Each structure stands twice: as structure tokens, then as C-alpha cells.
Amino acid sequence: MSCKKTEWLKFNASDQEEIAFPLATIEGAKPGPTVTITAGIHGAEYPGIVSAIRLFKELTPETVAGKIQIVTISSLKAFESRSVFVCPVDGKNLNRVFPGDKDGSYTQVLAYHLFNDVILKGNYYLDLHGGDMVEALVPYAMYHKSGNDKIDQKSLEIAKYYGLKYITSSQPDSKTKSGGTYANASEHGIPGALVEVGGIGQLDEESVNLHMKGLYNVLRYLGCLEGEPVIPADQTFYDESVWVYTSKKGIFHTKVSVGDEVSKSQCVGTIEDYFGNQIEESLSPINGKVMVLTTSPAVKDNGQLMKVAGKPRKI
Ligand SMILES: [Zn+2]
């Protein structure tokens, strides 16, 4: 039966703390695939959250084929406390603990239910992200190479149809993969992509519009909505992407801007101690483009400074 509904899924963590997340569903009037959309896996990535809510408000069952299930804010405690990267209840990064553990800590139980009760019930998956409160970025999509060619090809197509200019990938052995939503989804047979738009704690209409354009285009491509999906022109795929870390905590002075092209061994930033002495020089490990940049000068031991994508090719 076609309908639009909102509900709260509620569970208890092992410490008995209640976990809840908002799920909005559109059951279409016509048959079609089930598409899952999650936003707010990181609670301060606002354009994705607001786009997910806007999509639900705009769609009607009459125009939808299949089912679209949207978790509008996955990490509610992080959203409500304006927490950066981690869930404040147990200090874990939700995007590092998938597929979760039903007997684990708060974030692990949350991941378990998001994964088993929502993501695995769909046929396709989109995870809406952006730079967190302390990150600026160039909008890009990421898909996971699970090793299953059919799934991976579909994931790449979904990433392409989101329409952003840049695409990167992750692999089972890469550091960035471990515990990620979209990576685990694709390894469980659900093609999908993670998309990064917006950042530094801003809710800007330009980023929301990019998400909305991408969401509608992918839903057309997957057959949930009428209309021809647009095949994006002039996209660049990066075969390599590397995080630059500081080994020491301190005050980070960047020497680059997000989107800059850098060369291998170029000095991209320095770290000073709290008396102004330079204690580290950060060098780019590859030739490439600065996709994500930490905008806060306060960095931890082994803290992320920037993500550089290299080996570009047109697709
Ligand atoms: Zn994120």
C-alpha cells in the first residue's frame, strides 16, 4: 500500500541506554527497488541531513516506484550535542564500527541496527556526508571495490550519477574502509556510494542543492523516479587517495587551500608547539589534489590534516 510514514526505531544498548533513530519511508504506488539513504552518520554534517529531510518532504507515493527509506539523522546524540566525528556516549566514530555489534557499546549497537534493520533491507544505498565541523572539502563521491565486479560496477554508476565532479574509491585492505557504511553494504551485496558535500559546520543552500540534484538523479537512474537521469560530463576519477597525518599534537598551520594541486614532498603545513616552536613539517606523500582539509588548528597526535587524491583520469 502506497504511503508516507515516519517512525522512531528504538533499541537498548548493553548498558541499557536507549538508542533511537528517525526513519522516514515512502512506499511508492508502483513496484520498484528499495533504496536506502542515510544522513547524519556524523552528526555535524548538516547539508546531507537537511537534504535527506527535504527529499522526504518533496516526494509523494504517486511519483515513486518501489520504496525509499531515509534515516534522516543516524547519530542523533552526535547531532544534538554538536559532536565532531564521534558519538559522545562512548566516543566511537559510527562510520568505523559497521556492521556493528548487537551486544557492544552504544555506537556498535546503533550500527548493528542501522545495518541489519535498514541498510540490508534495501537493494541500493546512499550515505550522505560532508566535511565535519572542522573540515572543508571539495565535493566528491566514493565507492567501494568489494571484489564483486557486478556490485562494484553498479556502485561506480551510482557514484557517477550523483553528479559530483570527483570520484574516489576504497578497497577492502585500505585504512579508510574499515567499518564504513557503504563499504560494508557493498561487501554484503548492496551497491552504493558515500557522498561528501559541504563542511565546517555550515548549512549552505549551495551544498543542499548539490545533494538534491544528486539524489534525484540517482533515484531516476535506479528506476524509483520518472525521467531520464543525466549522464554527468567531465568527471575525474582518482585511483589513489592518501590521508596526511601529523605525528605530534600541536597547532596546525596549513600552507594549502582545499582544492589545491600539490606535488609529492611539497610542504603542505607545519605543526607548532604551544610556544610557537615548529615541531613538524607535513609533506604531501603524492602528487594530487587536496580533497579534504582540516580547518581547525588544534590537532592531536596522529591527527588527520588533509586527504590528497592522486592519479586522476577522465571517465
Ligand atoms: Zn562524515
CA distance 188 to 243: 26
Is 82 buried (19+), middle (13-18) or exposed (0-12) by CB count in 10 A? exposed
* Cis before 285 (ω within 30): no
Centre of ligand 1 from the C-alpha of residue 266, in Å = 27
The pLDDT tens digits of the residues spanning 123-175 come to 999 999 999 999 999 999 999 999 999 999 999 999 999 999 999 998 765 54
- CA 289 from centre of chain: 19
CA distance 171 to 73: 27
Centre of ligand 1 from the C-alpha of residue 227, in Å = 30
Protein residues within 5 Å, CB atom, of ion ligand 1: 42, 45, 129
Percentage with pLDDT > 90 across the chain: 93
Centre of ligand 1 from the C-alpha of residue 277, in Å = 33
Centre of ligand 1 from the C-alpha of residue 222, in Å = 24
The pLDDT score that the predictor gives to residue 175 is: 47
CB atoms within 10 A of CB 159: 31
Q: Give the DSSP letter of residue 64.
A: B
The pLDDT tens digits of the residues spanning 74-113 come to 999 999 999 999 999 999 999 999 999 999 999 999 999 9
pLDDT band, very low/low/confident/very high, at 185 (cuts 50, 70, 90): very high
pLDDT band, very low/low/confident/very high, at 178 (cuts 50, 70, 90): low
Residue 216 cell numbers, joined: 534525484
The pLDDT tens digits of the residues spanning 213-262 come to 999 999 999 999 999 999 888 999 999 999 999 999 999 999 999 999 99
Q: Are 144 and 182 contacting, i.e. CB atoms less than 8 angstroms apart? A: yes
Centre of ligand 1 from the C-alpha of residue 257, in Å = 20
- Residue 176, pLDDT > 60, answer no
- Which three-class secondary structure state does DSSP give residue 161? helix
The pLDDT tens digits of the residues spanning 250-309 come to 999 999 999 999 999 999 999 999 999 999 999 999 999 999 999 999 999 999 999 999
Residue count (the chain): 315
The pLDDT score that the predictor gives to residue 233 is: 86
- Give φ, ψ of 281 to 5 degrees: -115, 130
